[in-house]
Amino acid sequence: MTADLARSWLTFSAPVAAARAAGRPLVALESTIIAHGMPYPENVRTAREVEDLIRNLGAEPATIALIGGRIRIGLAHDELERLGRSGQAQKVSRRDLPAVLASGGLGATTVAGTMICAALAGIEVFVTGGIGGVHRGAQETFDISADLQELAKTSVAVVCAGAKSILDIGLTLEYLETHGVPVLSCEQDNVAAFYTRDSGFRADFRLDDPAQQARFIRTKWDLGLAGGVVLSTPVPEAAAMASDEIDALTQQALADAMAQGITGKAVTPFLLARIEALTSGRSLATNIALVKHNAEVGARLALALAQVL
Query: Count of residues for the chain?
Result: 309
CB 57 within 8 A of CB 27: no
Q: Which residues are catalytic?
A: 30, 164
CA-nearest of 137, 130, 100 to 117 is 100
Provide the residue type at 247 as one letter.
Answer: D
CA-nearest of 284, 269, 279, 274 to 45 is 284
Provide the residue type at 244 as one letter.
Answer: D
Burial class (CB in 10 A: 0-12, 13-18, 19+), 147: buried
CA-nearest of 126, 189, 176, 190 to 155 is 126
CA-nearest of 136, 229, 222 to 179 is 229
What three-state secondary structure class fits 122? Answer: coil
232-246 in b/e burial notation, b at 16+ Cβ within 10 A? bbbbeeebbbebebb
